[in-house]
Amino acid sequence: MKFKLVIAYDGGGYAGWQVQKIGVGVQELVERALTRLFPHAGRLHGSSRTDAGVHARGMVAHVEIPAAEFGMPARKLALALNAHLPEDIRVMSAEACPDDFHARFQAVGKQYRYFVWNHRAMNPLLRRQAWHVPAHLDIEAMRAAARRLVGRHDFRSFAANRNYEVEMTVRNLSRCDLRRSGALLTFVLEGDGFLYKMCRGIVGTLVQVGQHKLGVEEMDRILAERDRRVAGMTAPAHGLVLWQVNYARPGSGMPC
């Protein structure tokens, strides 16, 4: 039996989503909860990789469980798993899915949100979920710069280097919005895929546009140069949330 899980977690205490050689990944703890209930459960396959300190509201994963071991109504699976998980990790939903479903390879898009607290004093309730930027920011300049990033581009300038060469660095960014509610800024980034630390590179660069350290018109040059050194800073991990993962509706080709 194959199940689709939607998982939320506070990533502050973890070394990312994946099972790690050093440190604890969220995947490891969910797999441990699964095997406590179902000793021969398969490997948990996630839709994304989140880095150390990054949070998730809508991480999607799938797992196969032997039918002979699954002796509960499917609607109780999330509750049963949560009883074996720490409070900062929760399975928000669990449902049976088709045998050919794959959380990673069938995803058609992802949405990340990044939170900035733009006030002289940090909101202590958001100290683990938002980046504190006390300086005045030019919001309209940031929005204008964000619009220049929408579309299909090579985003190499915004991505951190891994210890191996990434062959394809072109991505389609369908949405790059900035919302303001009082002191809270919310960056919404949606696309067909993201490079390593790409969201944080974009947010850090846009914040520096808001500080007038970079100009709006420089976005085109930064994209064209394909060099991480020409873009702005990388925003801290704790402000980033994997908000949702989109899949095509059956027979429609449209995301759901």
- The catalytic residue positions are 51
Q: How far apart are the first and last CA of the chain?
A: 23
How far, in Å, CA of 51 to CA of 237, rounded? 8
SS3 state of residue 245: strand
Q: 143 with 210: CB under 8 angstroms?
A: no
Q: What are the angstrom distances between the C-alpha of 58 and each of 9, 55, 92, 110, 123?
A: 9, 9, 8, 9, 25
Q: 34 with 65: CB under 8 angstroms?
A: yes
How far, in Å, CA of 147 to CA of 193, rounded? 18
Residue whose entry in the numeric block shows the structure tokens 């050194």: 229
Q: How many helices (H) and strands (E) does the chain have?
A: 5, 10
Q: Are strands 131-132 and 107-117 parallel, antiparallel or unpaired?
A: parallel
Max intra-chain CA distance, the chain: 62
Closest CA to 203 of 133, 152, 102: 133
Closest CA to 131 of 194, 187, 66: 187
